Chains A and B, each alone.
Chain A
């Protein structure tokens, strides 16, 4: 991947372009509505879904409370099973560790399993700088990589592309990365999948180093778990000689019994399947079976800071299912790129400002990228109250002041004063009502202009309700 999220404009600005892109809007509407309905069906099949959801939430909360203990258990177990554990405080350190590990093998190319953690730290770009080519092997990640594009969805990174666009990307760019697309490639899904399969097969067979993330780490045995649909993960996790896994520290679950809960919650929430097609689990290394060297890079990169926030920490429960993206009306219109990070949609709007902070205009705009409709909370399989965290983060952004917020704070305080003085409020209401004939349809000025660009202002009544009440009831 050569694209970058760095230096992107604020959410409203980026979203403005996306909203006007009718192809993008169409692609997203079709895709999200399809998967939304499927998920609802898959979840409705289980009569104990509410209990599963509560269990998932509680297991994550309990684990996060004693995260240090569980992580040390992971380290001991992985080491005992022949793996090596590395601790990375931030993205730079993680990238350096992985780059050095690849260099030590003498290889200049790696195959990758789709991984959010490596997207988050920009690993591919770091490897490229060190002269190492990383091949994405997940179909959608491949589309993104070949298109010199950025992912726009957690589960289906190329959701913003339709099959005609994918055909063109394959036809034009596959040859630059390896085996070219077959002549006369059509946009039939089966043909596109076959082209990807042929292109990727030679990479699986050649690669000596694989890089992955993990969906879960089971502390009691030091076992890593990757769930996937295409089988590319299985290839990358078993064929190479060296396997490097970059995993966020919140991915740990204490026991296999805990894992059982998530293996039910995740597939139904993400792909709307009862069970995902491939579940790969490995514990350190095994002689004569799979990679001979295994490195686990445990990634903090803002997670410890997030954990310190009593309201915001619930974001660390996230199992990256992307159900919240698929139901989000804002995501559907703005697309994933507007969120400016590997984590788009509602979860990104609460995760990114916590992992990266709110120093940039983009990151400070993310908590406002929601109408607080609550659809995300409703479908979240680990009950993250995303609207609650969004409002909490808005408070943090407002507190730090900066562009627009000083004026806004003054306006909010003035409003509260007025609302705390009913006599003054009534006088204001009466004045507005009496001058109503003079109010134009469109108005300038911050706030009002944005309103009247697309909507009429309400017609003011002849008198406020409190005056009617006084006349009729007192």
Chain B
């Protein structure tokens, strides 16, 4: 099976280790991975901040970049939610504004093929044990877009529970937002930080070595707060845990 990796702009520029880990996991499972170089960003920051029209060129770019692939896999729930929920809206609005069907067609062609990593592993490949090894205590934060918009449910937890050596500890208040919210983090910095405080207090109460998530934008916020406090816990993307093996353990 051949899939296209949508690395996302955040992972490309700031967290390449997550994109590399995604490639490793997929290749280990026998999937052939392509990285179409024309890809950049899904446009979520622009769209959610109120700049819908500035998002439109990126909708076209995404559709063109991933043309011809049956599956587009990405280690970011919120980017999938952006494509799945908002691309059709962007297309419909453009059509309603008398600017033709081009965007709507672009959205319709892409939407059904985009999968968040855990969706792809569990639903398409049908695996939960990916052969990973990670001898640490881990607590899992389900980011809001994955949790509520995509309905990822227990997929990430099932994947984590199948990791050899990993002990999964429940995160109190897991379903509460961490306070990132894109530009919310700077437009309402005080409330965002207060939400983040509560999130890391809950995370630290588990005494887990690692706070795992499936969305690096949230982890950039949570991890940034943990590091600011020199807390004895690190934020880590799920893909990096799944990529870790006994032969090649994550350091």
Contacts and interface: CB of A to CB of B under 8 A. Distances in A.
Interface of A: 11-12, 15-16, 19, 25, 329-330, 333-334, 367-375, 377-378, 388, 391, 393-399, 408-409, 412-413, 415-416, 419-420, 422, 425, 429, 432, 446-447, 450-451, 453-458, 460-461, 463-466, 468-469, 473
A416 B144 contact: no
B185 A451 contact: yes
Contacts of B182: 371-372
B227 to A, nearest CB: 4
Interface in B15-44: 15-17, 19-20, 23, 33, 35, 37-41, 43
5 closest residue pairs by CB, A with B: A371-B181, A394-B50, A455-B224, A373-B177, A465-B16
Contacts of A329: 176-177, 179, 195
A369 B46 CA distance: 17
A456 B220 CA distance: 9
Given A329-B176, A375-B177, A422-B40, A391 B48 contact: yes
Given A425-B40, A468-B20, A391 B46 contact: no
Interface string B154-189: 000000000000000000000111011111111111
Nearest to A369: B188
Given A371-B144, A371-B180, A333 B195 contact: yes
Given A329-B179, A373-B177, A391-B50, A461 B188 contact: no
A177 to B, nearest CB: 35
A409 B9 CA distance: 20
Nearest to A425: B40
Contacts of B11: 465
Nearest to A417: B57
Contacts of B223: 456, 458
A466 B181 CA distance: 26
Given A374-B148, A453-B193, A460-B14, A465 B20 contact: yes
B13 A429 contact: yes
Contact of B54 (A11, A12, A375, A412): A412
Contact of B50 (A388, A395, A416): A395
28 contacts: A11-B188, A15-B188, A19-B193, A371-B184, A375-B148, A388-B89, A391-B48, A395-B52, A398-B49, A413-B51, A415-B54, A419-B9, A419-B41, A419-B58, A425-B9, A450-B189, A453-B189, A454-B189, A454-B225, A454-B228, A458-B15, A461-B15, A465-B16, A465-B20, A468-B16, A468-B19, A469-B35, A473-B23
Given A416-B51, A456-B224, A465-B19, 17 more contacts: A11-B188, A15-B188, A19-B194, A329-B177, A329-B179, A371-B144, A373-B177, A395-B50, A395-B51, A398-B50, A415-B45, A416-B54, A422-B37, A429-B12, A450-B186, A454-B228, A466-B37
Nearest to B220: A458
Given A371-B181, A372-B181, A420-B61, A397 B14 contact: no
A371 B179 contact: yes
Interface of B: 7, 9, 11-17, 19-20, 23, 33, 35, 37-41, 43, 45-52, 54-55, 57-58, 61, 89, 144-145, 148-149, 175-177, 179-196, 220-221, 223-225, 227-228
Contact of A19 (B23, B51, B191, B225): B191
Given A420-B57, A422-B40, A461 B224 contact: no
B38 to A, nearest CB: 6
A455 B228 contact: yes
Given A329-B195, A333-B191, A419-B58, A466 B51 contact: no
A425 B143 CA distance: 27
A10 to B, nearest CB: 10
Given A333-B195, A368-B187, A416 B55 contact: yes
Contacts of B228: 454-456
A473 B223 CA distance: 30
B14 A461 contact: yes
A181 B211 CA distance: 52
B104 to A, nearest CB: 16
Contacts of A415: 45-46, 54
- Looking at A388, A429, A450, A465, the one whose CB has the most chain B CB atoms below 10 A away is A465
Contacts of A425: 9, 40
Given A371-B179, A429-B13, A458 B224 contact: yes
A15 B57 contact: no
A464 B16 contact: yes
B181 A409 contact: no
Contacts of A473: 23, 33, 35
A394 B185 CA distance: 15
A461 B183 CA distance: 23
A408 B46 CA distance: 10
B148 A416 contact: no
A416 B52 contact: no
Given A373-B144, A456-B224, A408 B49 contact: yes
Contacts of B195: 329-330, 333, 371
Contacts of B185: 450-451
Contacts of A450: 185-187, 189
